[in-house]
Structure 1
Amino acid sequence: MMTDKVRIDTADAITSNGNNEAYLARQAEYESNVRSYPRKLPLAIAKAEGVWITDVENNQYLDCLAGAGTLALGHNHPDVLKSIQSVITSGLPLHTLDLTTPLKDKFSEYLLSVLPGEGKEYCLQFTGPSGADAVEAAIKLAKKHTGRSGVIAFSGGYHGMTHGALSVTGNLSPKEAVNGMMPEVQFMPYPHLYRCPLGIGGEAGVKALTYYFENLINDVESGVRKPAAVILEAVQGEGGVNPAPAEWLQRIRKVTEEHGILLIIDEVQAGFARTGKFFAFEHAGIQPDIIVMSKAVGGGLPLAVLGIKKKFDAWAPGHHTGTFRGNQLAMATGLTTLQFLKENNIAEKVAEQGEWLKGKLAELQQRYPVIGHIRGLGMMIGIELVKPNEAQDQLGCYPADGELSALVQKKCFEAGLILERGGRHGAVLRLLPSLLISNAELEIFLDKFENALLSAGVKPV
Structure 2
Amino acid sequence: MNKFIGPEKIIKKKKNFLFPCSNHFYKNPPQIVRGEMQYLFDSTGKKYIDFFAGVSVMNCGHCNSEILNAAIKQMQKLQHTTTIYLTEPIVNLAEKLSILLPGNIKHSFFCCSGSEANEGALLLARLYTGKNNFISLKNSLHGRTYLTMSTTGIPMWRTDPNLDNSITFVQNAYNKDKPLDVSAAESLNEIEKTIKHIGSKNIAALIAEPIQGNGGIITPPSWYFKDLKKLLEKHNILLIIDEVQTGFGRTGKMFAIEHYDVVPDIITIAKALGNGFPIGAFCTNDAIAASFTKPSASTLGGNPVSAEAAISVLNYIENNNLCERAALLGEKLKNELIKLKEKHLIIKNVRGLGLMLGAELVKTDGTPATEETDLILELLKDKGILIGKNGIDRNVLAFQPPLVINEDNINNLINKLDIVLTNLKL
Q: TM tier, shorter chain?
A: over 0.9
Residues 340 and 270 of structure 1, relative CA distance in 2, 3 Å threshold = same
| Match 1:316 to one of 273, 293, 303 | 293
Residues 93 and 209 of structure 1, relative CA distance in 2, 3 Å threshold = closer
Q: Which amino acid aligns with 1:403?
A: E
Q: Which residue of 2 aligns with 1:152?
A: 135
- Higher relative contact order at CA 8 Å, sep ≥6: structure 1 or structure 2? 2
| Match 1:163 to one of 140, 146, 150 | 146
Q: Which residue of 1 aligns with 2:86?
A: 100
Distance 2:27 2:281 in 1: 30
Distance 1:168 1:64 in 2: 28
Residues 447 and 95 of structure 1, relative CA distance in 2, 3 Å threshold = farther
| Match 1:406 to one of 362, 374, 383 | 374
Contact 2:248 2:272 (C-alpha < 8 Å) held by counterparts: yes
Return the TM-score normalized by structure 1.
0.87
Q: Which residue of 1 aligns with 2:49?
A: 62
Contact 2:105 2:283 (C-alpha < 8 Å) held by counterparts: no
Residues 301 and 40 of structure 1, relative CA distance in 2, 3 Å threshold = farther
Counterpart of 2:203 in 1: which secondary structure?
coil
| Match 1:109 to one of 92, 95, 118 | 95
Q: Which residue of 1 aligns with 2:166?
A: 184
Counterpart of 1:374 in 2: which secondary structure?
strand
- Residue 109 of structure 2 is aligned to residue 125 of structure 1: yes
**CA displacement 1:373-408 (0-9 Å, x = unmatched):** 1111111010111112x2xxxxxxx33211111111
Gaps spanning 5+ residues in structure 2: where? none
Q: Which residue of 1 aligns with 2:345?
A: 369
Distance 2:105 2:404 in 1: 31
**CA displacement 1:322-356 (0-9 Å, x = unmatched):** 22113222111111111111233221221121111
Q: Could you tell me how far 1:95 is from its partner in structure 2?
A: 4.1
- Residue 275 of structure 2 is aligned to residue 299 of structure 1: yes
| Match 2:259 to one of 283, 305, 310 | 283
Count of aligned pairs between the two proteins: 425
| Match 2:225 to one of 235, 249, 253 | 249
Q: In percent, how many aligned pairs have the same letter?
A: 28
Residues 184 and 133 of structure 1, relative CA distance in 2, 3 Å threshold = same
Return the TM-score normalized by structure 2.
0.94
Q: Which residue of 1 aligns with 2:385?
A: 417
Gaps spanning 5+ residues in structure 1: where? 1-11, 391-397
Q: Could you tell me how far 1:42 is from its partner in structure 2?
A: 1.6
**CA displacement 1:193-234 (0-9 Å, x = unmatched):** xx35xx5424333333323323432x3x56786311100001
Higher deviation after alignment, 73-82 or 37-46: 37-46
- Residue 363 of structure 2 is aligned to residue 384 of structure 1: no
Q: Could you tell me how far 1:432 is from its partner in structure 2?
A: 1.1
Q: Which amino acid aligns with 1:122?
A: K
Distance 2:305 2:45 in 1: 30
Q: Which residue of 2 aligns with 1:53?
A: 40
- Residue 34 of structure 2 is aligned to residue 31 of structure 1: no
Distance 1:148 1:310 in 2: 19
Distance 1:289 1:98 in 2: 27
| Match 1:73 to one of 47, 60, 66 | 60
| Match 2:334 to one of 337, 353, 358 | 358
Contact 2:180 2:220 (C-alpha < 8 Å) held by counterparts: no
Counterpart of 1:278 in 2: which secondary structure?
coil
**CA displacement 1:132-158 (0-9 Å, x = unmatched):** 011111111111211111000000111
Higher deviation after alignment, 437-446 or 325-334: 325-334
Counterpart of 1:139 in 2: which secondary structure?
helix
Q: Which amino acid aligns with 2:155?
A: L
CA RMSD of aligned residues (A): 2.0
Distance 1:343 1:258 in 2: 40
Residues 259 and 172 of structure 1, relative CA distance in 2, 3 Å threshold = same
Residues 41 and 77 of structure 1, relative CA distance in 2, 3 Å threshold = farther
Higher deviation after alignment, 278-287 or 39-48: 39-48
